[in-house]
Amino acid sequence: MINDPEVVLADEPTGNLDSRTSVEIMAIFQQLNERGITIVMVTHEQDIAAYARRNVVMRDGICAQRQSRHATISSPKLSWINQERRQTTRRVGE
């Protein structure tokens, strides 16, 4: 964070961490976001994605779902891309 970036891209930053350290990383990202830095993160972890104000779910390379929570502060949104693992079986009707 030396160069004071406007955007941070994070690809699975909590993927190999224990639960406690993952929560600490999320707290750091939230502090950065409160300072006006936009966070874009890719994760497969639903509990980590739940920290975000906005989730974009990708399935088989396409946007399958978008979810937003209304923010109470007017800073850039903490955005996460929640990529689900490619499903090898499909449900009837999809």
Predicted pLDDT at 4: 85
Say how far apart CA 15 and CA 68 lie, in whole Å: 23
Strands 54-59 and 62-68: antiparallel
Structure tokens at 7: 């955007």
Predicted pLDDT at 1: 74
Count of C-beta atoms within a 10 Å radius of residue 64: 13
* Mean pLDDT, range 78-82, rounded to an integer: 42
Task: Report whether pLDDT(82) > 70.
Answer: no
pLDDT in tens, 35-74: 999 999 999 898 898 888 888 888 888 887 777 765 433 3
pLDDT in tens, 6-37: 999 999 999 999 999 999 999 999 999 899 99
